[in-house]
Structure 1
Amino acid sequence: MVYLREQRSKQVAVDDLTVVVPLSKPAYPTRQESGVLSRADLIQLANNGIAGVRKLQLKSQVEVPRRQLQMSQLKDKLFSSLAHRDAKVWVSEPYLHLDVCARVRAVWRSRSLMQWNDFNCVELIAARPNLHARLAFVDRSSRDDSLAGLLATLVALSLPIEMAEALPAIAKEISPLVSTQPELIYTANSHHYRTAFKVAAAQLTASGSKLCVHQHGGGYGIDELHIGEYFDREVADCFFTFGWRDSSNQNVRPLPTPHRAVRSTVSQQILLMCAEHITEFFRFQSFCLPEHSGKVLLETRSFLNMMNSTSDIHLRMAPSSPIPLPLLGDLVAKCTIAETSESGAVAASRAALVVHNYLGTSWLETLAMNVPTVCFYDSEFYRPRAEARPFLDALVRVGVLHYSGSEAAKFVNSLRGNPTAWWQSAEVQEAREAFVARYANFNDNWLEAWTEEFERLLS
């Protein structure tokens, strides 16, 4: 809110303006030669209304290739067809990351109890924004000089089509699905990203179905403040974790998910896994803030600058928002840019040592795989809750966690190219195992555990 108010002093002067309305997610447009404006420009526009703009156009953004959508829909139909008609549990977008064969085996083995459907049911590519209604709303709301008026203008300009114009089509498409009332609805991701699931779940829970939500990333149970966790726990009748419990809430229970990868032939490389480079605030979480990205960049530069020149460092960027290489300057010469065609977990399974420049999900996965792991982060951006602090303090003492890039580099250099000897020591393994049991409890017998837990909830 402070940021939005600060924009009130700024002005924008444009003649022709095109705003791209996202189709299915709040992906904000970036400045391009075509005249598409960034979110900052939209805020400036909202502050000034549409006065001075000769021509304001809205157009939809096609984000999902038709073939990709059709394949997803085909997969949903296949998985749904395998389930028994009286399956009492819906499973949608779990945090599994299994290959196709493993996923099919899981669907087949659980078919008497679970129906798997990721809700790729709605054809949105043909959807278009209602230009008349949106522009009329912009015209009305831009006359309001308050912060509420500013926000209303931004909503009209950037509200995804599937949350407005496409809602009637979504309701029609899911009607056959919600007619078969499951007793349990399980998801780890759909309640965040899939509008069709949200509509279906709202109708079904109102009719008596129970919603089960599973932790899908890092920070849960660890961060002192974690808005995503609070939301998940608030909407769920039962919330599943990667291992931790809440003594004050019996509906918070551990439930494993499978390992993302298994340890394989070890190379000599050091894999540096980087956080997304964020330039605009988009979520209430520490590593989603531009200020955090700036600090991560500084500490990453410090780490690379301090590393021995003989180190074989492979730099793995976040595929969606990589650090621009010019920001690393000459330090890029110390690195090999890793391919992102395979998952980060698979790449990490082969590394001699994996270094993380933030505390997200990937460090939980490498600790669970028992891959030598080092993390560096700024303690001003991460503050653990009291229950987690002893486990993190133990990892600090044995050299897994460091509060700066330079400290981490000095420690890695001290290993003299042999991280395995350090990693296999009794004190490191004791700290790792204690942490993993509580916060990264991945298990290849996950399906048996799910079946047992769902049957308990149904009894």
Structure 2
Amino acid sequence: VGDAWNERIFADLAERWTGLPVEAVEGAQHLHGDSGKIPAMPDMVRQSRRGRVSGAGVALHSVYLHRSEKIKLELLLHQIPSIESKLSFPKARADPQRRNWVVNATDGDPFTRVIADLIPKYLPTCYLEGYADAYSKVAAEGPARTPRVVVTANAFSSDDGWKMWAGLQCERGAKLVIAQHGGHYGTGDWSASQMHEIAISDRYLSWGWRDLEHPTVRPAPATKLIGMVRRRPMQTGRCLQVLASFPRLSYWMFSVPIGPQCQGYFDDQFAFAGALSRQVRDELIVRLNSNDYGWDQAQRWKDVEPEITTDNGRSDLSTLLDHTRLYVATYNATTFLESFTQGVPTVMFWNPEFWELSESAKPFFELLREAGVLFDDPVTCALHVNSIWEDVPAWWASSNVQSAVNEFCNQYAFVGRRPLRDLKAALTHW
């Protein structure tokens, strides 16, 4: 998603499929990331010869449970609690001779043919030059007891070591369970990542929603939300506006602002802040996203709203919530699901043309609109904030607001009364 990576891709496209001149400058900038290093392996892989994968035979890795909740779940599964740690492999150098092959896509569309042509060059070295060594190490240090189920929330995409290990277990008969790791899943009109995760897993644990076209989707307690403590709404405190940020060029394909559409998203943020009353503006904190992606958000706010306090996104959000009267969510992701779960008074606004919703989710978001929680227009949202500012807890406690939020959470931020027991059942009942 960085400029160096995109420049390299565009240069290849220009060189191979256009007449544009391309000048190579060796060593000008290092591409971020390490394609030869396999970053992490579950601790159970390293030490399972001492019998870590026992009991129900469920191997948990990067499941987004708080440490104490993960220990409780493993005890419920009659397993010895494990500690996840990292195991790195030596970096492998790319060998041009071993990349002298082609992917046959002559019958595909132009996009498919372009991708097929680039694969030999961009395939990570851990899957080619370094694969034999990595595979041997994983096989040698693998578990003496094969797990019956391997579970993760995000290692299927971010942890090559775990992927290699999990692949071995699945070849031996283990089931692959992927747990939803954040918001937007089930609510966005489309998501390439969601489709991929459902397709590769034997069971996909959603945060409450169902997918009639994919029976492997099973509602279960949201691992990231389990154990969150409910907060008491505050009569005083700050107004916290939480912002998103996206790469300046397309990356993942899902229902969010893409590329230059982000400018419209940023404009909406300024429109909201500008329409707030003086009383609210004096208490406003704008939390920027810690990943700026070259948008220079901090300077934009200094230029447009120099009087407003900004947070760089690196401070502890929980600490900010300790002093927050009203939480303002500005994008469809995990952020407002966490504030709902913690009982923090919350309003939301975003442009529905950028944040398209799935048909199944629209009725539940409509409930939030009718309750004055969700708005399509930033100024309308700001005027609503002005009207409730003097007694936010009373507005939040009103029956229509609580009914809408609770019904929404049952579908998209479900925790339940016995979350760990319900989670155990989702992992062991087949």
Distance 1:439 1:114, change over 3 A: farther
Distance 1:327 1:342, change over 3 A: closer
Question: What amino acid is aligned across from residue 316 of structure 1 in structure 2?
Answer: R
Cα distance in 2 between the residues matched to 1:244 and 1:107: 22
Cα distance in 1 between the residues matched to 2:315 and 2:49: 28
Cα distance in 2 between the residues matched to 1:197 and 1:73: 7
Instruction: Confirm whether residue 94 of structure 1 aligns to residue 63 of structure 2.
Output: yes
Find the counterpart in structure 2 of residue 430 from structure 1.
Answer: 403
Find the counterpart in structure 2 of residue 316 from structure 1.
Answer: 287
* Identity rate, percent: 20
Find the counterpart in structure 1 of residue 231 from structure 2.
Answer: 263
For the residue of structure 1 that corresponds to 2:409, the secondary structure is helix
Normalising to structure 2: TM-score of the pair? 0.81
For structure 2, which runs of at least 5 residues remain unmatched after alignment?
103-109
Distance apart, 1:247 and its partner CA: 4.4
Cα distance in 2 between the residues matched to 1:80 and 1:445: 32
Work out which of the residue numbers 304, 322, 326 in structure 2 matches 1:353.
326
With 261-270 and 227-236 compared, the bigger mean Cα shift is at: 261-270
For the residue of structure 2 that corresponds to 1:286, the secondary structure is coil
Instruction: Confirm whether residue 328 of structure 1 aligns to residue 296 of structure 2.
Output: no
Cα distance in 2 between the residues matched to 1:115 and 1:187: 16
Find the counterpart in structure 2 of residue 416 from structure 1.
Answer: 389
Normalising to structure 1: TM-score of the pair? 0.77
Instruction: Confirm whether residue 216 of structure 1 aligns to residue 173 of structure 2.
Output: no
Distance apart, 1:111 and its partner CA: 6.2
Question: What amino acid is aligned across from residue 90 of structure 1 in structure 2?
Answer: A
Question: What amino acid is aligned across from residue 456 of structure 1 in structure 2?
Answer: H
With 364-373 and 289-298 compared, the bigger mean Cα shift is at: 289-298
For structure 1, which runs of at least 5 residues remain unmatched after alignment?
1-26, 139-145
Find the counterpart in structure 2 of residue 193 from structure 1.
Answer: 158
Cα distance in 1 between the residues matched to 2:362 and 2:186: 11
Question: What amino acid is aligned across from residue 83 of structure 1 in structure 2?
Answer: R
Find the counterpart in structure 2 of residue 168 from structure 1.
Answer: 132
Cα distance in 2 between the residues matched to 1:333 and 1:321: 19
Cα distance in 2 between the residues matched to 1:43 and 1:444: 53
Find the counterpart in structure 2 of residue 277 from structure 1.
Answer: 246
Distance 1:404 1:149, change over 3 A: same
Distance 1:38 1:374, change over 3 A: farther
Question: What amino acid is aligned across from residue 188 of structure 1 in structure 2?
Answer: A
Q: Give per-residue Cα distances to partners, 1:253-300, cap 9 Å, x unaligned.
A: 211121455426845111111112320111011226214422211111
Distance apart, 1:243 and its partner CA: 1.1
Distance 1:195 1:287, change over 3 A: same
Question: What amino acid is aligned across from residue 126 of structure 2 in structure 1?
Answer: E
Distance apart, 1:40 and its partner CA: 4.0
**1:181-260 maps to which residues of 2 (within 5 A)?**
181-247=146-212, 249-256=214-221, 257=223, 258-260=226-228
Work out which of the residue numbers 343, 346, 360 in structure 2 matches 1:373.
346
With 331-340 and 280-289 compared, the bigger mean Cα shift is at: 331-340
With 348-357 and 394-403 compared, the bigger mean Cα shift is at: 348-357
CA RMSD for the aligned pairs?
3.7
Find the counterpart in structure 1 of residue 78 from structure 2.
Answer: 112
Partners of 2:246 and 2:262 within 8 A in 1: yes
Partners of 2:42 and 2:162 within 8 A in 1: no
Partners of 2:246 and 2:258 within 8 A in 1: no
Instruction: Confirm whether residue 439 of structure 1 aligns to residue 412 of structure 2.
Output: yes
Size of the aligned set, in residue pairs, is: 411
Cα distance in 2 between the residues matched to 1:349 and 1:75: 37
Q: Give per-residue Cα distances to partners, 1:181-225, cap 9 Å, x unaligned.
A: 211111111112122222233332233211111111112222222
Partners of 2:49 and 2:144 within 8 A in 1: no
Find the counterpart in structure 2 of residue 23 from structure 1.
Answer: none
